[in-house]
Structure formats: C-alpha cells, structure tokens
C-alpha cells in the first residue's frame, strides 16, 4: 500500500492541510495519508506549540470519519528532537508492506539540504511536493527526483490562525468544524 506521510506541527490543523491531504489521496498514487504529528520540529520554537496530545486530538476529531486519513503519534515515543529520517526508518521497519511517500511543501526545499540525512530520504522514499507561495523556481532544479503535484494553493498558515484567535477574530472558516469547536471549548491559542 502506498501511504503518504504528512509531517507537521499542525498547530493547529486547518483547511489548507486537509485540502492538500484530500488532493493527495484523490489525485496521486497515494492510497492513504497519515498526519504525523511532530512533538518538536528541530527548526521551530517549542514554546509556541500547543501540547502534542492536544494537537493530535484536534486532528483526530477532524478526520475520524474519513477512511483515507489517519493521525499518527509515532514521533511521541521516538527520541527528540525528531528527525524525519528516523521516523521514516522506524515506520519502514514497523510496516514493511507499505511504500511510504513524504509530503513536503515546496518552501521546505529551500532548506531541505539541512535536514538530517536528506540524501537518504531522496534515495529511499518518494517525495510528493505541493506548491507553496514564493518558492524560488531554481530550488526545483536541485531536486529533479521529487514529484510535483498540482494541489490548489491556499495561503493559510497555522501562525495566521493562532494570531487571529489571539486577536479575538472569528476563525471558524479556516478550521475544520471539530477543531474549531474544540479550540473554542478549550480556549486554545487565546493568550
């Protein structure tokens, strides 16, 4: 089975994440997609993150009725900081019958050479690259083996959503309804 892995902080998950995930399961060779919640991205400040289990629950509530999606907490039990290559290796050993594809926003290509063992990722795993605004054209030339997908671009970020919530804005249409409901009930991101 071809399983796309969509890594991220998902702080919080939003409709842009879900639109990309839906596009991947409907318009690429991926048969399913797992949202892999990162407890600590080595390139991000941990102080800005909602606790990992709460981010996991936001995703779970948002996707539980869609059979092609799954949320994974695999990185919660791996050493931190979490590196993609370690998670990919662990998943490949745990699920030898699956072919894993890494979902990556094109903006990540700019710093991809800084990722731990990025060359092994390129060699051993398929990369599905979705477009992101303001990605320099020359960055694609460095990685000709990646598969570019034509998912619609949505210039929505979790940072924008968190800032809107903190400013008292109604952000309901940027979030899946179950995530919005949970964020409102739990007062997430309000301070």
Render each residue's pLDDT in the chain as its tens digit; 191 residues. 999 999 999 999 999 999 999 999 999 999 999 999 998 655 555 567 899 999 999 999 999 999 999 999 999 999 887 899 999 999 999 999 999 999 999 888 889 999 999 999 999 999 999 988 778 877 778 888 889 998 998 889 999 999 999 999 999 999 999 999 999 999 999 98
Instruction: Give the pLDDT score at 44.
Output: 57
How far apart (Å, rounded) are the C-alpha atoms in residues 94 and 98?
Answer: 9
| Phi then psi dihedrals of residue 101, to 5 deg | -120, 135
Instruction: Give the pLDDT score at 141.
Output: 80
- Of 60, 6, 1, 7, nearest to 31 by C-alpha is 1
CATH tag, 2-157: 3.40.50.620
The model carries a pTM of 0.92
Residues paired with 148 in a beta bridge: 129
Domain chopping of the chain, boundaries: 2-157
Cα 168 from chain centroid (whole Å): 26
Cα 96 from chain centroid (whole Å): 22
Give the three-state DSSP class for 169. coil
Count the alpha carbons within 13 Å of 22 in the hemisphere toward its beta carbon. 10
């Amino acid at each position: 089975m071809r399983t796309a892995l969509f890594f991220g902080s998902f702080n919080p998950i939003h409709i842009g994440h879900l639109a990309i995930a839906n596009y991947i399961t409907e318009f690429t060779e991926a048969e399913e997609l797992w949202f892999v919640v990162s407890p600590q991205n080595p390139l991000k400040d941990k102080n800005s993150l909602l606790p990992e289990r709460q981010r996991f629950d936001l995703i779970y509530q948002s996707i539980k009725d869609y059979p092609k999606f799954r949320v994974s907490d695999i990185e919660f039990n791996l050493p931190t900081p979490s590196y993609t290559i370690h998670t990919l290796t662990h998943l490949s050993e745990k699920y030898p019958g699956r072919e894993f594809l890494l979902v990556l926003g094109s903006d990540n290509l700019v710093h991809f050479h800084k990722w731990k063992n990025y060359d092994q990722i390129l060699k051993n795993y398929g990369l599905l690259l979705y477009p992101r605004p303001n990605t320099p054209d020359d960055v694609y030339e460095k990685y000709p083996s990646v598969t570019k997908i034509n998912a619609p671009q949505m210039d929505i970020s979790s940072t924008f959503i968190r800032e809107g919530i903190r400013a008292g804005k109604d952000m309901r249409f940027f979030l899946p309804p179950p995530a919005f409901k949970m964020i409102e009930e739990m007062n997430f991101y309000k301070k």
